[in-house]
Structure 1
Amino acid sequence: MLDLAWGPTGAAGLDAETVVVVDVLSFTTTTTVAVERGLHVLPFGWHDDRAAAYAEERRAVLAVGRLEARERPGLPSLSPAAMASVVAEAGTRVVLPSPNGSTISALVAARGRTVVAACLRNAAAVALALAGRDVAVVACGERWPDGTLRPAVEDLWGAGAVLAGLAAAGHALSPDARAAVAAYDAMRPGDVHACPSGRELLDAGFGGDVDVAAEVGVSEVVPVLGAEGFRDGR
Protein backbone atom coordinates (compact mmCIF):
# COMPACT_ATOMS: atom_id res chain seq x y z
CA MET A 1 0.00 0.00 0.00
CA LEU A 2 1.43 3.35 -1.08
CA ASP A 3 2.08 5.65 1.87
CA LEU A 4 2.57 9.36 2.60
CA ALA A 5 5.07 10.64 5.17
CA TRP A 6 5.93 14.11 6.47
CA GLY A 7 9.32 15.74 6.98
CA PRO A 8 12.76 14.23 7.63
CA THR A 9 11.60 11.93 10.43
CA GLY A 10 8.83 10.50 8.28
CA ALA A 11 11.18 10.10 5.34
CA ALA A 12 13.69 8.19 7.48
CA GLY A 13 11.06 5.58 8.28
CA LEU A 14 10.16 4.73 4.67
CA ASP A 15 11.21 1.37 3.23
CA ALA A 16 10.11 1.93 -0.37
CA GLU A 17 12.75 1.57 -3.08
CA THR A 18 11.77 4.92 -4.60
CA VAL A 19 10.90 8.00 -2.53
CA VAL A 20 9.18 10.98 -4.14
CA VAL A 21 10.12 14.21 -2.38
CA VAL A 22 7.64 17.11 -2.60
CA ASP A 23 8.65 20.65 -1.57
CA VAL A 24 6.49 22.93 -3.70
CA LEU A 25 7.79 26.20 -2.20
CA SER A 26 10.41 25.80 -3.31
CA PHE A 27 13.12 23.10 -3.64
CA THR A 28 11.42 20.54 -5.87
CA THR A 29 9.80 23.22 -8.02
CA THR A 30 13.18 24.91 -8.49
CA THR A 31 14.81 21.54 -9.20
CA THR A 32 12.16 20.76 -11.81
CA VAL A 33 12.73 24.11 -13.52
CA ALA A 34 16.50 23.52 -13.48
CA VAL A 35 16.16 20.04 -14.98
CA GLU A 36 13.81 21.44 -17.65
CA ARG A 37 16.76 23.62 -18.66
CA GLY A 38 19.23 20.73 -18.70
CA LEU A 39 20.95 21.63 -15.41
CA HIS A 40 21.93 19.03 -12.81
CA VAL A 41 20.94 19.77 -9.22
CA LEU A 42 22.99 18.49 -6.29
CA PRO A 43 21.09 18.62 -2.97
CA PHE A 44 22.89 19.74 0.16
CA GLY A 45 22.07 20.57 3.77
CA TRP A 46 20.94 24.05 4.77
CA HIS A 47 23.39 26.48 6.42
CA ASP A 48 26.17 23.92 6.10
CA ASP A 49 29.60 25.57 5.94
CA ARG A 50 30.86 22.73 3.74
CA ALA A 51 28.64 23.70 0.80
CA ALA A 52 31.25 25.86 -0.98
CA ALA A 53 33.92 23.17 -0.69
CA TYR A 54 31.46 20.54 -1.89
CA ALA A 55 30.56 22.67 -4.92
CA GLU A 56 34.23 23.13 -5.75
CA GLU A 57 34.88 19.40 -5.37
CA ARG A 58 32.01 18.57 -7.71
CA ARG A 59 32.91 21.34 -10.17
CA ALA A 60 29.53 22.85 -9.55
CA VAL A 61 28.04 26.29 -9.06
CA LEU A 62 26.81 27.02 -5.54
CA ALA A 63 23.36 28.61 -5.54
CA VAL A 64 23.07 32.06 -3.97
CA GLY A 65 20.31 33.44 -1.76
CA ARG A 66 17.05 34.71 -3.21
CA LEU A 67 17.92 38.36 -2.52
CA GLU A 68 21.32 38.09 -4.19
CA ALA A 69 19.77 36.40 -7.23
CA ARG A 70 17.29 39.26 -7.52
CA GLU A 71 20.11 41.81 -7.40
CA ARG A 72 22.37 39.81 -9.75
CA PRO A 73 20.12 38.21 -12.40
CA GLY A 74 21.40 35.05 -14.04
CA LEU A 75 22.68 33.36 -10.87
CA PRO A 76 21.04 30.12 -9.65
CA SER A 77 19.17 30.23 -6.36
CA LEU A 78 16.33 28.52 -4.54
CA SER A 79 13.99 30.87 -6.42
CA PRO A 80 12.28 28.96 -9.27
CA ALA A 81 11.72 32.21 -11.15
CA ALA A 82 15.43 33.03 -10.93
CA MET A 83 16.36 29.47 -11.95
CA ALA A 84 14.27 29.88 -15.08
CA SER A 85 16.58 32.69 -16.22
CA VAL A 86 19.93 31.27 -15.11
CA VAL A 87 22.76 31.86 -17.55
CA ALA A 88 24.41 28.42 -17.74
CA GLU A 89 25.12 25.70 -20.26
CA ALA A 90 23.16 22.44 -20.23
CA GLY A 91 24.92 19.93 -18.01
CA THR A 92 26.06 22.55 -15.49
CA ARG A 93 25.94 21.21 -11.93
CA VAL A 94 24.25 23.40 -9.31
CA VAL A 95 24.54 22.77 -5.57
CA LEU A 96 21.16 23.84 -4.21
CA PRO A 97 20.85 23.80 -0.40
CA SER A 98 17.47 24.19 1.25
CA PRO A 99 16.15 23.56 4.76
CA ASN A 100 13.54 21.00 3.74
CA GLY A 101 13.45 19.43 0.28
CA SER A 102 17.19 19.47 -0.37
CA THR A 103 18.09 18.24 3.10
CA ILE A 104 15.51 15.45 2.96
CA SER A 105 16.61 14.41 -0.55
CA ALA A 106 20.21 14.05 0.62
CA LEU A 107 19.14 12.09 3.71
CA VAL A 108 16.97 9.67 1.73
CA ALA A 109 19.68 9.15 -0.90
CA ALA A 110 22.19 8.36 1.86
CA ARG A 111 19.92 5.47 2.89
CA GLY A 112 20.27 3.94 -0.57
CA ARG A 113 16.82 4.91 -1.88
CA THR A 114 16.10 6.31 -5.33
CA VAL A 115 14.95 9.92 -4.93
CA VAL A 116 12.58 11.65 -7.35
CA ALA A 117 11.67 15.35 -7.11
CA ALA A 118 8.02 16.23 -7.71
CA CYS A 119 5.90 19.36 -7.54
CA LEU A 120 2.64 20.58 -9.03
CA ARG A 121 4.39 21.29 -12.33
CA ASN A 122 5.45 17.69 -12.99
CA ALA A 123 3.33 15.51 -10.69
CA ALA A 124 1.50 13.79 -13.55
CA ALA A 125 4.76 12.98 -15.34
CA VAL A 126 6.30 11.58 -12.15
CA ALA A 127 3.26 9.38 -11.47
CA LEU A 128 3.33 8.05 -15.03
CA ALA A 129 7.03 7.23 -14.80
CA LEU A 130 6.72 5.46 -11.44
CA ALA A 131 3.53 3.47 -12.06
CA GLY A 132 3.92 -0.11 -10.88
CA ARG A 133 7.05 0.55 -8.81
CA ASP A 134 7.64 0.35 -5.06
CA VAL A 135 7.04 4.01 -4.17
CA ALA A 136 6.40 6.25 -1.18
CA VAL A 137 5.83 10.01 -1.08
CA VAL A 138 7.24 12.58 1.35
CA ALA A 139 5.59 15.96 1.87
CA CYS A 140 8.48 18.02 3.22
CA GLY A 141 6.61 20.73 5.09
CA GLU A 142 8.17 23.81 6.66
CA ARG A 143 9.61 24.62 10.10
CA TRP A 144 8.23 26.48 13.08
CA PRO A 145 10.69 28.87 14.82
CA ASP A 146 11.53 26.13 17.35
CA GLY A 147 12.61 23.79 14.53
CA THR A 148 9.62 21.44 14.69
CA LEU A 149 7.72 20.41 11.58
CA ARG A 150 5.10 22.81 10.24
CA PRO A 151 2.80 20.95 7.84
CA ALA A 152 2.55 22.91 4.59
CA VAL A 153 -0.66 22.59 2.61
CA GLU A 154 1.10 23.24 -0.71
CA ASP A 155 3.19 20.12 -0.15
CA LEU A 156 0.04 18.16 0.70
CA TRP A 157 -1.42 19.31 -2.64
CA GLY A 158 1.74 18.40 -4.52
CA ALA A 159 1.90 14.98 -2.87
CA GLY A 160 -1.79 14.49 -3.58
CA ALA A 161 -1.25 15.26 -7.26
CA VAL A 162 1.42 12.53 -7.49
CA LEU A 163 -0.66 10.08 -5.49
CA ALA A 164 -3.75 10.70 -7.62
CA GLY A 165 -1.78 9.69 -10.70
CA LEU A 166 -0.42 6.58 -8.99
CA ALA A 167 -3.90 5.61 -7.79
CA ALA A 168 -5.17 5.94 -11.37
CA ALA A 169 -2.39 3.54 -12.39
CA GLY A 170 -3.65 0.94 -9.94
CA HIS A 171 -1.71 1.61 -6.74
CA ALA A 172 -3.57 1.06 -3.48
CA LEU A 173 -3.30 4.06 -1.17
CA SER A 174 -3.02 4.32 2.61
CA PRO A 175 -5.58 6.50 4.44
CA ASP A 176 -3.03 9.34 4.68
CA ALA A 177 -2.35 9.09 0.95
CA ARG A 178 -6.09 9.13 0.16
CA ALA A 179 -6.46 12.24 2.33
CA ALA A 180 -3.72 13.95 0.29
CA VAL A 181 -5.55 13.12 -2.94
CA ALA A 182 -8.76 14.57 -1.49
CA ALA A 183 -6.89 17.75 -0.55
CA TYR A 184 -5.48 18.05 -4.08
CA ASP A 185 -8.94 17.52 -5.58
CA ALA A 186 -10.22 20.37 -3.39
CA MET A 187 -7.44 22.79 -4.45
CA ARG A 188 -8.66 25.85 -6.34
CA PRO A 189 -6.90 28.43 -8.57
CA GLY A 190 -5.14 30.97 -6.38
CA ASP A 191 -4.79 28.65 -3.39
CA VAL A 192 -0.99 28.39 -3.65
CA HIS A 193 -0.80 32.19 -3.52
CA ALA A 194 -3.22 32.32 -0.56
CA CYS A 195 -1.63 29.61 1.61
CA PRO A 196 0.77 30.69 4.41
CA SER A 197 3.97 29.82 2.51
CA GLY A 198 2.72 31.56 -0.60
CA ARG A 199 1.78 34.69 1.35
CA GLU A 200 5.24 34.74 2.98
CA LEU A 201 6.92 34.82 -0.44
CA LEU A 202 4.46 37.37 -1.80
CA ASP A 203 5.07 39.66 1.17
CA ALA A 204 8.82 39.32 0.63
CA GLY A 205 8.50 40.37 -3.01
CA PHE A 206 8.86 36.92 -4.58
CA GLY A 207 5.47 36.56 -6.16
CA GLY A 208 7.09 35.24 -9.34
CA ASP A 209 8.25 32.18 -7.41
CA VAL A 210 4.68 31.46 -6.34
CA ASP A 211 3.46 31.90 -9.92
CA VAL A 212 5.93 29.27 -11.14
CA ALA A 213 5.14 26.87 -8.29
CA ALA A 214 1.38 27.15 -8.82
CA GLU A 215 1.50 25.91 -12.43
CA VAL A 216 -0.02 22.44 -12.67
CA GLY A 217 1.00 19.80 -15.20
CA VAL A 218 3.20 22.01 -17.35
CA SER A 219 6.37 19.91 -17.17
CA GLU A 220 7.25 16.43 -18.43
CA VAL A 221 10.61 16.08 -16.67
CA VAL A 222 11.15 13.44 -13.97
CA PRO A 223 14.14 14.56 -11.87
CA VAL A 224 15.91 11.47 -10.51
CA LEU A 225 18.84 11.86 -8.13
CA GLY A 226 22.04 10.12 -9.20
CA ALA A 227 25.79 10.63 -8.94
CA GLU A 228 25.57 13.72 -11.17
CA GLY A 229 22.65 15.21 -9.25
CA PHE A 230 18.99 15.39 -10.18
CA ARG A 231 18.63 14.75 -13.93
CA ASP A 232 15.70 13.88 -16.16
CA GLY A 233 15.08 10.19 -15.66
CA ARG A 234 12.49 9.59 -18.36
Structure 2
Amino acid sequence: MGLADTHNPHRQRGAQVRFEWGTTGARALVAAGDVDVAVVVDVLSFTTTLTVALERGITVWPFPWKDARAAAFAAEHDAVLAVGRLEAEREGVGGVSLSPAGMARVEGVRRLVLPSPNGSTIATLLADAGTSVVAASLRNATAVARWLTEGPAGGGTVAVVAAGERWADDSLRPAVEDLWGAGAVVAALVDGGQPSLGLSPEAGVAEASFRAVRPRLGEELLGCASGRELVATGFAADVRVAGEVDVSAVVPVLVDGAFRA
Protein backbone atom coordinates (compact mmCIF):
# COMPACT_ATOMS: atom_id res chain seq x y z
CA MET A 1 0.00 0.00 0.00
CA GLY A 2 1.41 3.39 -0.96
CA LEU A 3 1.76 6.43 1.25
CA ALA A 4 -1.25 8.10 -0.40
CA ASP A 5 -3.41 5.04 0.39
CA THR A 6 -2.22 4.88 4.00
CA HIS A 7 -3.11 8.50 4.67
CA ASN A 8 -6.31 8.69 2.63
CA PRO A 9 -8.54 10.95 4.79
CA HIS A 10 -11.73 9.27 3.56
CA ARG A 11 -10.84 6.16 5.57
CA GLN A 12 -11.34 8.10 8.83
CA ARG A 13 -8.33 6.41 10.38
CA GLY A 14 -7.72 7.14 14.04
CA ALA A 15 -11.43 6.87 14.91
CA GLN A 16 -12.77 3.67 16.43
CA VAL A 17 -16.28 4.22 15.07
CA ARG A 18 -16.57 5.46 11.47
CA PHE A 19 -19.46 6.28 9.16
CA GLU A 20 -19.90 6.44 5.38
CA TRP A 21 -22.45 6.13 2.59
CA GLY A 22 -23.08 3.53 -0.12
CA THR A 23 -20.86 1.13 -1.99
CA THR A 24 -18.07 3.64 -2.66
CA GLY A 25 -17.99 4.73 0.97
CA ALA A 26 -17.94 1.11 2.11
CA ARG A 27 -14.94 0.41 -0.10
CA ALA A 28 -13.13 3.48 1.23
CA LEU A 29 -13.62 2.51 4.88
CA VAL A 30 -12.42 -1.09 4.58
CA ALA A 31 -9.65 -0.57 2.02
CA ALA A 32 -7.03 0.10 4.69
CA GLY A 33 -7.70 -3.31 6.25
CA ASP A 34 -8.06 -1.96 9.81
CA VAL A 35 -11.84 -2.36 10.24
CA ASP A 36 -12.89 -5.22 12.53
CA VAL A 37 -16.63 -5.20 11.82
CA ALA A 38 -18.82 -3.37 9.30
CA VAL A 39 -22.46 -2.56 10.11
CA VAL A 40 -24.79 -2.21 7.11
CA VAL A 41 -27.89 -0.05 7.57
CA ASP A 42 -30.74 0.00 5.02
CA VAL A 43 -33.86 0.95 6.98
CA LEU A 44 -36.31 1.03 4.04
CA SER A 45 -36.07 -1.76 3.71
CA PHE A 46 -33.34 -4.43 3.36
CA THR A 47 -31.97 -4.59 6.90
CA THR A 48 -35.42 -4.13 8.46
CA THR A 49 -36.86 -6.98 6.38
CA LEU A 50 -33.78 -9.09 7.12
CA THR A 51 -34.21 -8.57 10.86
CA VAL A 52 -37.89 -9.54 10.69
CA ALA A 53 -36.99 -12.66 8.67
CA LEU A 54 -34.40 -13.77 11.22
CA GLU A 55 -36.89 -13.13 14.03
CA ARG A 56 -39.01 -15.76 12.28
CA GLY A 57 -36.19 -18.28 12.03
CA ILE A 58 -35.41 -17.72 8.34
CA THR A 59 -31.84 -17.91 7.02
CA VAL A 60 -31.25 -15.14 4.47
CA TRP A 61 -28.78 -14.97 1.59
CA PRO A 62 -28.23 -11.41 0.33
CA PHE A 63 -27.92 -11.08 -3.43
CA PRO A 64 -27.01 -7.94 -5.40
CA TRP A 65 -29.03 -8.57 -8.56
CA LYS A 66 -32.70 -9.25 -9.08
CA ASP A 67 -32.55 -11.17 -12.38
CA ALA A 68 -31.98 -14.68 -13.70
CA ARG A 69 -28.79 -14.93 -11.65
CA ALA A 70 -30.82 -14.50 -8.46
CA ALA A 71 -33.25 -17.24 -9.48
CA ALA A 72 -30.36 -19.61 -10.22
CA PHE A 73 -28.70 -18.73 -6.91
CA ALA A 74 -31.91 -19.42 -4.99
CA ALA A 75 -32.35 -22.77 -6.73
CA GLU A 76 -28.74 -23.68 -5.89
CA HIS A 77 -29.38 -23.00 -2.20
CA ASP A 78 -32.84 -24.59 -2.12
CA ALA A 79 -34.22 -21.21 -1.07
CA VAL A 80 -37.23 -19.05 -1.88
CA LEU A 81 -36.43 -16.01 -4.00
CA ALA A 82 -38.01 -12.76 -2.76
CA VAL A 83 -39.89 -10.80 -5.41
CA GLY A 84 -40.94 -7.16 -5.72
CA ARG A 85 -43.53 -5.76 -3.33
CA LEU A 86 -46.21 -5.33 -5.98
CA GLU A 87 -45.54 -8.79 -7.42
CA ALA A 88 -45.89 -10.28 -3.93
CA GLU A 89 -49.19 -8.44 -3.50
CA ARG A 90 -50.47 -10.06 -6.69
CA GLU A 91 -49.38 -13.48 -5.44
CA GLY A 92 -51.32 -13.02 -2.22
CA VAL A 93 -50.34 -14.05 1.31
CA GLY A 94 -47.68 -16.47 0.11
CA GLY A 95 -45.68 -13.85 -1.78
CA VAL A 96 -42.30 -13.09 -0.19
CA SER A 97 -40.75 -9.68 -0.88
CA LEU A 98 -38.60 -6.88 0.53
CA SER A 99 -41.65 -5.75 2.54
CA PRO A 100 -40.98 -6.07 6.30
CA ALA A 101 -44.70 -6.03 7.07
CA GLY A 102 -45.20 -8.80 4.53
CA MET A 103 -42.26 -10.75 5.95
CA ALA A 104 -43.96 -10.73 9.35
CA ARG A 105 -46.81 -12.75 7.81
CA VAL A 106 -44.71 -15.29 5.88
CA GLU A 107 -45.26 -18.93 6.80
CA GLY A 108 -43.35 -22.06 5.85
CA VAL A 109 -40.16 -20.37 4.57
CA ARG A 110 -36.85 -21.33 6.15
CA ARG A 111 -34.33 -20.30 3.48
CA LEU A 112 -34.61 -17.04 1.55
CA VAL A 113 -32.63 -15.15 -1.08
CA LEU A 114 -33.23 -11.41 -0.65
CA PRO A 115 -31.99 -9.26 -3.55
CA SER A 116 -31.42 -5.56 -2.93
CA PRO A 117 -29.46 -3.02 -4.99
CA ASN A 118 -28.36 -1.18 -1.86
CA GLY A 119 -28.06 -2.99 1.48
CA SER A 120 -27.63 -6.46 0.02
CA THR A 121 -25.05 -5.26 -2.49
CA ILE A 122 -23.02 -3.46 0.18
CA ALA A 123 -23.11 -6.45 2.54
CA THR A 124 -21.86 -8.73 -0.24
CA LEU A 125 -19.13 -6.26 -1.22
CA LEU A 126 -17.87 -5.97 2.36
CA ALA A 127 -17.89 -9.73 2.92
CA ASP A 128 -16.00 -10.27 -0.33
CA ALA A 129 -13.38 -7.81 0.97
CA GLY A 130 -12.87 -10.06 3.99
CA THR A 131 -14.69 -7.85 6.51
CA SER A 132 -17.02 -9.24 9.17
CA VAL A 133 -20.53 -7.93 8.46
CA VAL A 134 -23.61 -7.41 10.62
CA ALA A 135 -26.87 -5.72 9.68
CA ALA A 136 -28.70 -3.09 11.69
CA SER A 137 -32.00 -1.27 11.51
CA LEU A 138 -33.95 0.87 13.92
CA ARG A 139 -35.58 -2.33 15.19
CA ASN A 140 -32.34 -3.86 16.51
CA ALA A 141 -29.84 -0.98 16.84
CA THR A 142 -29.20 -1.46 20.55
CA ALA A 143 -28.89 -5.24 20.19
CA VAL A 144 -26.30 -4.75 17.45
CA ALA A 145 -24.39 -2.20 19.55
CA ARG A 146 -24.36 -4.57 22.52
CA TRP A 147 -23.08 -7.39 20.30
CA LEU A 148 -20.36 -5.13 18.94
CA THR A 149 -19.26 -4.13 22.44
CA GLU A 150 -19.32 -7.61 23.95
CA GLY A 151 -18.27 -9.59 20.87
CA PRO A 152 -15.52 -9.50 18.24
CA ALA A 153 -15.53 -5.71 17.91
CA GLY A 154 -15.05 -5.01 21.62
CA GLY A 155 -12.23 -2.49 21.59
CA GLY A 156 -11.94 -2.77 17.82
CA THR A 157 -12.81 -0.58 14.86
CA VAL A 158 -16.39 -0.40 13.59
CA ALA A 159 -17.46 0.97 10.21
CA VAL A 160 -21.14 1.88 9.99
CA VAL A 161 -22.33 2.11 6.38
CA ALA A 162 -25.63 3.75 5.47
CA ALA A 163 -26.86 2.18 2.24
CA GLY A 164 -28.83 5.11 0.87
CA GLU A 165 -30.97 4.86 -2.25
CA ARG A 166 -30.42 5.33 -5.99
CA TRP A 167 -31.44 8.13 -8.29
CA ALA A 168 -32.65 7.27 -11.80
CA ASP A 169 -29.09 7.73 -13.11
CA ASP A 170 -27.88 5.12 -10.56
CA SER A 171 -26.00 7.70 -8.46
CA LEU A 172 -26.25 7.59 -4.68
CA ARG A 173 -29.17 9.33 -3.00
CA PRO A 174 -28.32 9.76 0.68
CA ALA A 175 -31.47 8.64 2.50
CA VAL A 176 -32.17 10.30 5.82
CA GLU A 177 -33.74 7.16 7.31
CA ASP A 178 -30.41 5.36 6.92
CA LEU A 179 -28.61 8.27 8.61
CA TRP A 180 -31.01 7.84 11.53
CA GLY A 181 -30.53 4.06 11.60
CA ALA A 182 -26.76 4.40 11.57
CA GLY A 183 -26.98 7.07 14.25
CA ALA A 184 -29.10 4.76 16.41
CA VAL A 185 -26.27 2.22 16.40
CA VAL A 186 -23.64 4.86 17.20
CA ALA A 187 -25.80 6.36 19.96
CA ALA A 188 -26.34 2.92 21.50
CA LEU A 189 -22.59 2.30 21.48
CA VAL A 190 -22.02 5.57 23.32
CA ASP A 191 -24.91 4.95 25.73
CA GLY A 192 -23.58 1.47 26.42
CA GLY A 193 -20.88 2.90 28.65
CA GLN A 194 -18.17 3.64 26.14
CA PRO A 195 -18.31 7.44 25.74
CA SER A 196 -14.62 7.60 24.81
CA LEU A 197 -14.94 5.32 21.79
CA GLY A 198 -13.43 7.87 19.47
CA LEU A 199 -16.10 8.70 16.91
CA SER A 200 -15.15 10.17 13.59
CA PRO A 201 -16.90 13.52 12.92
CA GLU A 202 -19.02 11.67 10.36
CA ALA A 203 -20.15 9.12 12.95
CA GLY A 204 -20.80 11.93 15.42
CA VAL A 205 -23.13 13.65 12.94
CA ALA A 206 -25.09 10.41 12.49
CA GLU A 207 -25.43 10.05 16.26
CA ALA A 208 -26.59 13.64 16.70
CA SER A 209 -29.12 13.28 13.89
CA PHE A 210 -30.72 10.25 15.53
CA ARG A 211 -30.86 11.86 18.94
CA ALA A 212 -32.49 14.96 17.46
CA VAL A 213 -35.20 13.04 15.59
CA ARG A 214 -35.87 10.35 18.22
CA PRO A 215 -38.87 12.04 19.92
CA ARG A 216 -40.77 12.24 16.60
CA LEU A 217 -39.12 9.43 14.68
CA GLY A 218 -42.28 7.66 13.52
CA GLU A 219 -43.76 10.86 12.11
CA GLU A 220 -40.51 11.88 10.41
CA LEU A 221 -40.01 8.42 8.91
CA LEU A 222 -43.44 8.60 7.29
CA GLY A 223 -42.68 12.11 6.06
CA CYS A 224 -39.20 11.57 4.60
CA ALA A 225 -38.81 11.00 0.85
CA SER A 226 -38.41 7.22 1.08
CA GLY A 227 -41.30 6.94 3.52
CA ARG A 228 -43.59 9.06 1.37
CA GLU A 229 -42.71 6.93 -1.65
CA LEU A 230 -43.79 3.76 0.15
CA VAL A 231 -46.94 5.38 1.55
CA ALA A 232 -47.91 6.53 -1.94
CA THR A 233 -47.65 2.98 -3.28
CA GLY A 234 -49.71 1.46 -0.46
CA PHE A 235 -46.92 0.28 1.86
CA ALA A 236 -47.30 2.60 4.85
CA ALA A 237 -47.23 -0.52 7.06
CA ASP A 238 -43.62 -1.12 5.99
CA VAL A 239 -42.64 2.32 7.22
CA ARG A 240 -44.35 1.76 10.55
CA VAL A 241 -42.60 -1.60 11.04
CA ALA A 242 -39.27 0.03 10.18
CA GLY A 243 -39.90 2.77 12.74
CA GLU A 244 -40.27 0.41 15.71
CA VAL A 245 -37.12 1.19 17.67
CA ASP A 246 -35.32 -1.54 19.63
CA VAL A 247 -38.11 -4.10 19.50
CA SER A 248 -35.78 -6.91 18.40
CA ALA A 249 -32.83 -8.67 20.02
CA VAL A 250 -31.79 -10.29 16.72
CA VAL A 251 -28.29 -9.53 15.39
CA PRO A 252 -27.97 -10.62 11.75
CA VAL A 253 -24.40 -11.83 11.18
CA LEU A 254 -23.19 -12.69 7.69
CA VAL A 255 -21.47 -16.10 7.80
CA ASP A 256 -20.55 -18.15 4.72
CA GLY A 257 -22.68 -15.96 2.49
CA ALA A 258 -25.87 -16.05 4.59
CA PHE A 259 -27.26 -13.94 7.40
CA ARG A 260 -28.07 -15.86 10.55
CA ALA A 261 -29.18 -14.65 13.98
Q: TM-score range by the shorter chain?
A: over 0.9
Q: Does 1:13 align with 2:36?
A: no
Bigger helix fraction? 2
Match of 1:116 in 2: 134
- Which ranges of 4 or more aligned residues in structure 1 deviate by more than 2 Å? 46-49
1:12 and 1:48 mapped to 2: Cα distance?
24
Aligned length: 230
Q: Does 1:194 align with 2:232?
A: no
**Residue deviations 1:128-156 (CA, integer Å, cap 9, x gap):** 11012431100010111111111000000
**Residue deviations 1:164-201 (CA, integer Å, cap 9, x gap):** 11223422111010000110011123111000000000
2:95 and 2:61 mapped to 1: Cα distance?
16
The structural deviation recorded for 1:75 is 2.5
1:107 and 1:228 mapped to 2: Cα distance?
11
Q: Does 1:28 align with 2:43?
A: no
8 Å contact kept, 1:41–1:94: yes
**Residue identity in the other structure for 1:205:** G
**Residue deviations 1:13-37 (CA, integer Å, cap 9, x gap):** 2231210000000000000000000
The structural deviation recorded for 1:68 is 1.9
2:62 and 2:257 mapped to 1: Cα distance?
11
Match of 1:75 in 2: 95
Match of 2:207 in 1: 181
**Residue deviations 1:91-141 (CA, integer Å, cap 9, x gap):** x11000011001111111111111111000000000011012431100010
Query: Which of 143, 148, 151 is 1:125 aligned to?
Result: 143
**Residue identity in the other structure for 1:36:** E
List gaps (5 residues or longer) in structure 2.
Answer: 1-14
Q: TM-score, normalised by structure 2?
A: 0.85
8 Å contact kept, 1:93–1:228: no
2:246 and 2:135 mapped to 1: Cα distance?
14
The structural deviation recorded for 1:228 is 5.9
Q: Provide the secondary structure at the position in 2 that maps to 1:3.
A: strand
Q: Provide the secondary structure at the position in 2 that maps to 1:95.
A: strand
Task: Give the percent of matched residue pairs that are identical in Structure 1 and Structure 2.
Answer: 60
8 Å contact kept, 1:74–1:82: no
**Residue identity in the other structure for 2:239:** V
RMSD after superposition: 1.2
Q: Does 1:135 align with 2:158?
A: yes
